């Protein structure tokens, strides 16, 4: 689903309360999209950079997902939300910057008692454009070294980055003459500062929260998703009951344990598909028993077939082709 499509729907609603989120969910279902899955296959509108603000409420449905592009988030507020980046969990504060490379599984954790909606400025960068940047500016090492991590800027000399993210969002929203150039230029400035943070000895990535049962199970799945996984097997590995794991996933992730395992396998499958492996190999390497079960799961989650997904991905030469 193109980002512009979902934004058009969201702009038609005030999105000031959880009731507005219910209205949005209803509208998405009416046009054939499952609200919790819209983040799964969001597509960039630009061949270069997209930026926007996103708002989530306690009842916003955001499933574990990944993207084919780079995503960088800057939190606008401290609201009690957390973030799951791979198997690491963070508690978010205003000014936190989250770096999410392509193919990285992630999702916000939105508790019922959030003080206010979770707001963030979002930058998406096309991987082919990032490749082009490395050729033009070889000392911009951010992309080559970009790992999933969270950087805390509050009360540091990097706190001003929050305003840079806001500038990009304002330009994209106002769409005044030359706004596309402004957005790309602003994003390059952000990347340059993130590169400086990366080599700043005094700036260190934020450590994740102490792993709880949820993160421990997720880490286990990360290492075993290509193998057979059962609820009883995982429960025995962590000396807890099956119902404890079931309750933990339902409460904190709003999905069943098996649904999460399927989502994680599909995220791995998307990366394998883009490597042009035979579909049967993709199915086996991502943990499905056969291609037919993989096909059904992929189609159910993303509303397209694995081969349609492969055909939708832009080719590198598209980046340099002029648009009209």
Q: What is the CATH number of domain 3-199?
A: 2.60.120.280
Q: Provide, rounded to the nearest whole percent, the portion of the chain with pLDDT above 70.
A: 79
pLDDT digits (tens, 9 = 90+) for 63-73: 888 888 999 99
In our burial notation (b when 16+ CB lie closer than 10 A, e otherwise), range 39-62 reads: bbbbbbebebbbbbbbbbbbebbb
pLDDT digits (tens, 9 = 90+) for 278-318: 999 999 999 999 999 999 999 888 888 999 888 876 544 44
Say which residue the tokens 């780079």 belong to.
Answer: 70
Confidence bin at 145 (pLDDT 50/70/90): low
At the fourth CATH level, the homologous superfamily of domain 213-312 is Homeodomain-like (1.10.10.60)
DSSP assignment of 236-290 equals: HHTT--HHHHHHHHHHHTSS-HHHHHHHHHHHHHHHHHTTT--HHHHHHHTT-SS
pLDDT digits (tens, 9 = 90+) for 4-39: 665 665 556 555 666 555 566 666 666 566 655 556
Residue 200: pLDDT above 80?
A: no
CATH 1.10.10.60 residue ranges of the chain are: 213-312
CATH 2.60.120.280 residue ranges of the chain are: 3-199
Question: Burial, 265: exposed, middle or buried (Cβ in 10 Å; 0-12, 13-18, 19+)?
Answer: buried
Alpha carbon separation from 307 to 70, 128, 277, 282, 299 (Å, rounded):
23, 21, 11, 11, 10
Please tell me which residue, 137 or 11, carries the higher pLDDT value.
Answer: 137
| CA dihedral (302, 304, 310, 313) positive or negative | negative
Say which residue the tokens 């999410």 belong to.
Answer: 100
Most confident of 40-44, 71-75, 192-196, 200-204: 71-75
Q: What is the pLDDT of residue 236?
A: 93
What average pLDDT does the segment 210-239 reach?
92
CA angle 272, 277, 283 (to 5 degrees): 65
């Amino acid at each position: 689903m193109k980002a512009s499509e979902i934004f058009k729907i969201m702009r038609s609603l005030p999105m000031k309360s959880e009731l507005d989120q219910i209205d949005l969910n209803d509208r998405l279902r009416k046009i054939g999209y499952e609200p919790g899955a819209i983040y799964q296959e969001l597509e960039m509108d630009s061949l270069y950079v997209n930026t926007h603000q996103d708002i989530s409420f306690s009842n916003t449905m955001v499933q574990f997902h990944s993207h084919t592009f780079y995503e960088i988030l800057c939190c606008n507020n401290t609201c009690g939300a957390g973030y799951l980046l791979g198997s690491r969990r963070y508690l978010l504060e205003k000014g936190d910057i989250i770096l999410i490379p392509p193919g990285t599984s992630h999702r916000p954790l939105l508790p019922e008692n959030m003080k206010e909606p979770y707001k963030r400025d979002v930058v998406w960068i096309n991987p082919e454009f990032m490749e082009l940047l490395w050729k033009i500016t070889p000392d911009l090492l951010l992309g080559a070294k970009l790992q999933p991590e969270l950087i805390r800027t509050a009360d540091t000399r990097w706190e001003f980055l929050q305003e840079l993210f806001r500038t990009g969002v304002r330009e994209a929203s106002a769409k005044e003459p030359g706004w596309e150039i402004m957005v790309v230029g602003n994003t390059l400035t952000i990347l340059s500062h993130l590169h400086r943070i990366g080599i700043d000895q005094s700036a260190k990535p934020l450590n994740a929260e102490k792993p709880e049962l949820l993160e421990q199970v997720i880490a286990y799945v990360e290492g075993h998703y290509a193998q057979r996984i059962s609820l009883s097997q995982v429960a025995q590995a962590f000396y807890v009951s099956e119902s404890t794991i079931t309750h933990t996933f339902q409460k904190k992730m709003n999905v069943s344990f098996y649904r999460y395992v399927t989502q994680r396998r599909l995220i791995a499958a998307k990366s394998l598909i883009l490597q042009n492996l035979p579909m049967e190999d993709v199915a086996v390497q991502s943990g499905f028993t056969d291609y037919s079960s993989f096909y059904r799961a992929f189609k159910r989650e993303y509303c397209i077939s694995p081969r349609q997904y492969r055909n939708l991905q832009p080719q590198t030469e598209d980046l340099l082709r002029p648009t009209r």
